[in-house]
Amino acid sequence: MTQIMRVRVTMNGWQGAPGLLTYYFRPNQVTLPGDATNATTRVRAALAVLAPVFPIATTLQVSGVCDVLEDTTGALLTSAGVAAPAVVPGTAAGSIGPPQVMAGLAMDTGAVVDGRKLRARSFLGPLASSFTATGLPSASLLTTVNAYAVALLTVAPPAAATPIVAWHRPRKATALLPFRAGTSSPVTTAAAVTRFFTLRSRLL
């Protein structure tokens, strides 16, 4: 059994908003408010690096409420409230591109679950229209997403204190399949994906 902490980002500024971006961290279980501050501060700092791909009309708000879950069952254990970080506004000039077209971030771990590597993905958008005019992500978009990945994994507070993790959710028991416990593992590397992701829904 391992505790994981959920950090949520609410996104607004386009038709169909709000959207939701979620990351998971492993608290060190010494001081939960301190863990929550570490995680929310790091997400906010990373989003500031990513701001140039979002249109000016877009805003991203990191929640000050971090839920703590038990990773094998997904059960909610407690919550920690901290001061919500300042809103991150998009800084790209121009209009909003197609809301379903997203930049992709792939996050790898050293864990293997059911014979497969445990990975996580982030769908980042809506993007400014200047980044979605071609069939593939531009070099500048990939550079910015890679910088975001570095910030998300390493920016102060030290990532070792509250590492970001990928969570393999538990599977409920059915008539055909038994219950399978969930598991989580720290992300070791992260990088931009050289194709666009298509998001079907990210509504709150």
Query: Tens of pLDDT along 111-168?
Result: 999 889 999 999 999 999 999 888 899 999 999 999 999 999 987 665 567 899 999 9
Average pLDDT over residues 68-90: 95
Percentage of the chain beyond pLDDT 90 is 71
The pair of three-digit structure tokens given for residue 108, joined into one six-digit string: 């790898």
**Residue 203: inside a domain, yes or no?**
no
Phi-psi region of 52 (alpha: psi -120 to 50; beta: other; left: phi over 0): alpha
How many CA atoms are closer than 13 Å to the CA of 79, on its beta-carbon side?
A: 9
Within-domain flag for 155: yes
Are the CB atoms for 76 and 5 separated by under 8 Å?
A: no
- DSSP state letter for 30: S
pTM for this model (two decimals) = 0.91
In a domain, 137, yes or no: yes
204 lies in a domain?
A: no
CB-based contact 177:171 (threshold 8 Å):
yes
89 falls within a domain: yes
Looking at per-residue pLDDT, the higher value among 154 and 85 belongs to: 85
User: Does a structural domain hold residue 118?
Assistant: yes
pLDDT at 170 over 50: yes
Q: What is the residue range of 28's domain?
A: 3-198
For the chain, the domain total comes to 1
Q: Which of 31, 17, 53 is nearest to 9 (CA)?
A: 17
The answer to whether 18 and 99 have CB atoms below 8 angstroms apart is no
